[in-house]
A and B are shown apart, each in its own frame.
Chain A
Amino acid sequence: MPLRSRGYAAASSDEPQFINLVQKSSFLNRDGDAIFQDPEFSRISSKETKNVNYYTAVNDALATALETDESAILFGEDVAFGGVFRCSMGLESRFGKDRVFNTPLSEQGLVGFGIGVAAQGATAIAEIQFADYVFPAFDQIVNEAAKYRYRSGNQFHCGGLTIRMPGMAVGHGGHYHSQSPEAFFAHVPGLKFVVPRSPAQAKGLLLAAIRDPNPVIVMEPKILYRAATEDVPVADYTLPLGKAAVLQEGRDMTIVGWGSQLYTLEEAVRRAEAKWPDRSFELIDLRSILPWDADTVIRSVNKTGRLLIAHEAPLTSGFGAEIAATVSEACLLKLEAPVARVTGFDTPFPLIHEKFYVPSIVRCLDKMEALFNY
């Protein structure tokens, strides 16, 4: 029996280890220059790339942000020594203790502090150690950061604030190291929320978030920190917030996901293609939860007539519900089947039962079959 990789528990032969899905993913660039074929990357002048994992790409983005903006500071619990996921390695010694520093263990305190820094016009990059622990800062994020500009009539804003937080399942995280709280924040006008799926995406979206003149939450799928490696442009670049990415074009079904869920969906699509050779699948990485790219999803569903949404967070009032409602309004006459959702169950995130809880390959395939048979 092979050694279990760090992260996902080994499952049955039908459910390959997550790390294997990532390692064979065609969505990760392993071909240097190939990334510059993508219009979003083609405008980057330097074609130099470096093969790095997800946390190193985050580290690179943070270093770039600190280097290009003297007002930028980076802070949170344990960031000074490099962070519990190594995302801030080497930054304290490079940029100084007044720019990269530990805060007391208080999420409401460090987010409130970041709002104050940003409200003075500086750039504040705050880290919440796990997305599961963002809730003590919920009041500061929802009532304060998100409304700062609106309530002051644009006299003040805290657009320089970015909150990074590792989220999503990791194989053995239980209740409080696994959560995907994006839907809580999707209900908050004034915020932006993004979930990058890969190292190159993480660098570009994080830099865009840091430079966007609105408060942005970036949720980094922690299972990808070491697992996902690709060739990432060395240059300073950003990717657009609020835009989805079509990872694969197809005619018969639209599949929408975000974050690490995309690797599960990629494998589910491969198996679906083998099972239904005359069908093709369009896979969309939503990337931004708020504001979300409804146009890209609607255009796709109007073409395919079927939509499957998959997310790790619980079903009820998960972000899939928002997508489903919007698509139902916009694509009613084109839909061949009801919009389908494969999600976590409406329970706390379990420990030992994780593989039965997550929207796994088999659960996705089962729903695809139901969509075709409707």
Chain B
Amino acid sequence: MAAPQRRGGGGVRVRPWLRHAVLFPGATCGSFYTSDLRFVKEYPTLPTYRVLDLEGQVINPAEDPGLSQERCVAIYRNMLCLNALDVIMYEAQRQGRISFYMTNYGEEATHMGSAEALTLDDVIFGQYREAGVLLHRGFTLDEFMNQCYSNARDEGKGRQMPIHYGSKRLNFHTISSPLATQIPQAAGAAYALKRSGKAAVAVCYFGEGAASEGDFHAALNIAATTESPVLFFCRNNGYAISTPVRDQYRGDGIASRGHGYGMHTIRVDGNDVLAVYRAVQAARALALRDAQPVLIEALTYRVGHHSTSDDSSAYRDKKEVADWQRQDSPNVRFRKYLERKGWWDDAAEAHAKKTLRAQVLQAFARAEKVKKPALQHLFTDVYDTLPPHLQAQQAELQRLLEKYPNELNTADFETSV
């Protein structure tokens, strides 16, 4: 031990603990002084939580969530249903019947596993590749189709691009295109839930690319300081359009950032539906018990193209994609689990695929026949009521419709009420 320090000539003895504990107010987690000049670069790498191996076998029986046959089959059927939806809508875009689409291939387990662990009171904020969460909460095939077709039955009144779903009934806030904007919003919603005394959390999904936006940082920090019960669920699928994670960040993924915000954090195998379920279930309980945010990073792989406007073979090897599909498919892994339990077989698979495809095609045909929303909805809902300048602009459009009935044909649209 060094001799007690003396200050000036007065011989004021500095209390010994001052030499160790750092008292600066910024050191909220406590720090100690050192005379070793050492930069920190290496941190322990965060492990990836897994329940099932690639053969659908439970690695540690104590970790099997013990979901019933009924729930497991419902989860698996929805994974297949999401695939059927994606196949048909992707083709519909290719045929020019809808303007845009984004598939969910490879990320089915993150959707169903997380959705299964939540209640309908929990409030969801998504990015855009979370259609399975909506499906599992009860969004109907007709609702998916109506939105993609921008028809008069779309709750969004045909205003947003396809796949920008939303459902008040299912507590799923409407998707918007700007990335990461929903992350601080989820923190605010969680704070409001906490104040209302409701036993519910906000859950916010986003990709690893969106986590580079300023709103990610802003959100995690404000959620931590305001003690908001929100689950931040990152889908780390390796790519943001063409950008591989190597160009996105240089740390230990997204999960390593949780520590910096003072947050409970877990990394999970996103192709393991049971691991995702267990992690989200535990995170939800933790968030509610402690009134704190939790960060979950689910590692997965984006099997499909980014969107219908993207050809991913321009920046990644087709073989890489095929390998992932063959070696680590979330659906196949869970199917093997079901088969081990004796809850699923080839016949069930064939029957499910056939009926789901038929259901999707029926909904598709129904949506295509519905007229487009009435033109008045170009103007409604900008504000709660129509201000005078919008009334004038609506009247101007009405005049033009009457003057140019051929050029501004409204036959495909519902008539105004």
A interface residues with partner B (beta carbon < 8 Å)? 71, 73, 98, 101, 103-104, 106, 108-122, 124, 136, 139-140, 143-144, 147-157, 159, 189-190, 192, 213-214, 242, 291, 294-295
Residue of A nearest to B169 (CB): A155
Kindly list chain B residues whose C-beta atoms are within 8 Å of the C-beta of A144.
176, 178, 181, 185
Bound Cα distance A233, B388 (Å): 30
Ordered by A's residue number, 26 sampled pairs between the chains whose C-beta atoms are within 8 Å are A71-B196, A103-B226, A109-B184, A109-B218, A110-B184, A112-B215, A112-B219, A113-B187, A116-B186, A117-B189, A118-B188, A119-B188, A120-B189, A122-B196, A124-B188, A139-B181, A149-B383, A150-B382, A151-B160, A151-B166, A152-B174, A153-B166, A190-B382, A291-B388, A291-B389, A294-B389
Chain B interface residue count, CB cutoff 8 Å, equals: 49
* Closest CB in chain B relative to A71 CB, distance in Å: 7
Among candidates B157, B215, B217, residue contacting A153 with C-beta atoms closer than 8 Å = B157
Question: Is the pair A156, B184 in contact by a Cβ cutoff of 8 Å?
Answer: no
Kindly list chain A residues whose C-beta atoms are within 8 Å of the C-beta of B155.
152-153, 155
Kindly list chain B residues whose C-beta atoms are within 8 Å of the C-beta of A120.
123, 188-189, 192-193, 196
* Closest CB in chain A relative to B67 CB, distance in Å: 30
Residue of B nearest to A124 (CB): B188
Question: Is the pair A152, B166 in contact by a Cβ cutoff of 8 Å?
Answer: yes
Question: Is the pair B181, A143 in contact by a Cβ cutoff of 8 Å?
Answer: yes
Kindly list chain A residues whose C-beta atoms are within 8 Å of the C-beta of B178.
139, 143-144
Kindly list chain A residues whose C-beta atoms are within 8 Å of the C-beta of B202.
116
B5 at the interface (CB under 8 A from A): no
B387 at the interface (CB under 8 A from A): yes
Question: Is the pair B388, A295 in contact by a Cβ cutoff of 8 Å?
Answer: yes
B interface residues with partner A (beta carbon < 8 Å)? 123, 125, 154-157, 159-160, 164, 166-168, 173-174, 176, 178, 181, 183-193, 195-196, 202, 214-215, 217-219, 221-222, 225-226, 377, 380-384, 387-389
Question: Is the pair A112, B181 in contact by a Cβ cutoff of 8 Å?
Answer: yes
Among candidates A112, A139, A156, residue contacting B188 with C-beta atoms closer than 8 Å = A112
Q: How many contacts A-B (CB < 8 Å)? A: 160
Kindly list chain B residues whose C-beta atoms are within 8 Å of the C-beta of A143.
176, 178, 181
Bound Cα distance A106, B183 (Å): 14
Kindly list chain A residues whose C-beta atoms are within 8 Å of the C-beta of B214.
108, 136
Residue of A nearest to B214 (CB): A108
Would A151 and B156 be within 8 Å (CB), given that A98-B195, A117-B191 are in contact? yes
* Closest CB in chain B relative to A131 CB, distance in Å: 19
Bound Cα distance A295, B389 (Å): 10
* Closest CB in chain A relative to B387 CB, distance in Å: 4
Kindly list chain B residues whose C-beta atoms are within 8 Å of the C-beta of A214.
383-384
Question: Is the pair B166, A106 in contact by a Cβ cutoff of 8 Å?
Answer: no
Bound Cα distance A64, B394 (Å): 38
